Chain A
Amino acid sequence: MIRLFLMNLLLSFIWVALTGSMYYTNFVFGFMLGFGILWIMNSHDSDQRYFFRVPKVLSFILYFFVQLIKANLQVAYDVMTPKYFMKPGVVRYPMNANTELEINLLATMISLTPGTLILDISEDKKTMYIHVMYLNDPKVFVREMKTGLERRLLEILR
């Protein structure tokens, strides 16, 4: 897993060094080239997780940015117009994430999305208290979060 990633980085650095242009598009191209080479070389290995995980990470980043822009538009609309459309509330959110790294990443992702703000995490690291700007039903919010952001994040990390 980590060995393949380092090998992929090494291949892209070799590509950058050989072509001689230190521009990031060239680096990205080298990374993709190295990814393809490693995939062909390791196609008979039993451990294929790395090759499925890299596209998953990319799709997660895309999904996160789409969410970020959607939420930003909603907040911007509410700031601009004179009437308030928001229904704020503090929600108890039971987490599936249990290690420190998973909790940290989940909290960062939730905090970076506009409209949601982490207020605190309980002492036994099982629940999170989130301040939400657009809350219709706490149960619906928790379910959407569980099947959306958290499931995608845990798929990458586990």
Chain B
Amino acid sequence: MIDILIAIFSTIGALAIFFASLGILRMPDFYLRLSVTVKAATLGVGLLLLCAAILFPDISVTTKAIAITFFLIITSPIAAHMIGRAAYFTGTPLWKGTIIDELAGMYNKETHELESNPQNKEEITAENDQIADTEEETK
């Protein structure tokens, strides 16, 4: 029973990490790469640690696995958020298939403050938005 459980969880975990690494190669722009990598890697490492906790009937292994998973879950979304924000702020282009960008023009460039009311935003035209026009821009 425990063997089957460990086999299932570790296979799913390894596959999640594999798809995350494949996603870095396949995804067309920076935000999608970030989006694919962070979550799948968290899930994969979490599942592998869960397998370790099930396999060793030792309380110290279980507590360590729980602590590592807990800190991974609270820190990796923050890292993704900070990297994504910095990338958007410095003007990294979005993929050309992006259908809508409601964040465009909402930043105040001097104070770095973000506006929530769509009435106050700067004028955005097809020339100065962050959505890339060609595939090569986001490679």
Known contacts being A72-B39, A111-B81, A122-B116, is A89 close to B100, with CB within 8 Å? yes
* B36 sits at the interface (CB 8 A): yes
Interface size class of A (residues with CB under 8 A): 35 or more
Known contacts being A107-B77, A127-B116, is A88 close to B97, with CB within 8 Å? yes
Contact B35 A133 (CB under 8 A): yes
* B16 sits at the interface (CB 8 A): yes
A23, A79, A114, A123: the one within 8 Å of B39 (CB): A114
The CA of A88 and the CA of B53, in the complex, are separated in Å by 37
B19, B26, B116: the one within 8 Å of A123 (CB): B116
Interface size class of B (residues with CB under 8 A): 35 or more
B22, B34, B100: the one within 8 Å of A90 (CB): B100
Contacts of B95 in A (CB 8 A): 88
Contact with B along A86-124 (1 / 0, CB 8 A): 111111101000000000000110011111111111111
Contact B84 A112 (CB under 8 A): no
Contact A91 B81 (CB under 8 A): no
A-B contact pairs, 18 of them (CB 8 A): A24-B53, A72-B40, A75-B19, A79-B19, A87-B97, A89-B98, A90-B100, A91-B102, A107-B77, A108-B73, A108-B77, A112-B73, A114-B40, A117-B84, A118-B77, A122-B106, A129-B103, A138-B102
Q: A114-B39, A115-B35 are in contact. List 11 more A-B contacts (CB 8 A).
A: A24-B53, A76-B40, A79-B23, A80-B22, A90-B94, A90-B102, A112-B39, A117-B35, A119-B85, A120-B88, A129-B114
